Amino acid sequence: AGLLPLLVLAVEPPEHVRVRLRRFADLIESLGVIGLFPLAVGVFGIYGQLLDKF
């Protein structure tokens, strides 16, 4: 398991593969941000404040 990051750094894929991997990583990052936003709002108690207002 410790060798996997070194292997990833040692291998240099072709440009079209790097673009595809970068797009996939961007998609995963976007989904993570969208998924974490409600959690961050809940941690700071904004949901409770909104429920009290309405």
The distance from CA 46 to its chain's CA centroid, rounded to whole angstroms, is 23
Supply the DSSP string of 27-45, one letter for each residue.
HHHHHHHHHHHHHHHHHTT
In this prediction, residue 9 has a pLDDT band, given cuts at 50, 70 and 90, of: confident
Per-residue pLDDT band at 1 (split at 50, 70, 90): low
Query: Do residues 21 and 13 lie in contact, with contact meaning Cβ atoms separated by under 8 Å?
Result: yes
Place of tokens 């989904």: 31
Domain residue spans of the chain: 13-53
For residue 34, what are its two tokens?
Answer: 């969208």
Cβ neighbors of 13 (< 8 A, separation 6 or more) are 21
* 14-52 confidence digits (pLDDT tens): 999 999 999 999 999 999 999 999 898 888 888 888 889
> What pLDDT sits at residue 36?
93
Q: What is the predicted pLDDT for the residue at 47?
A: 87
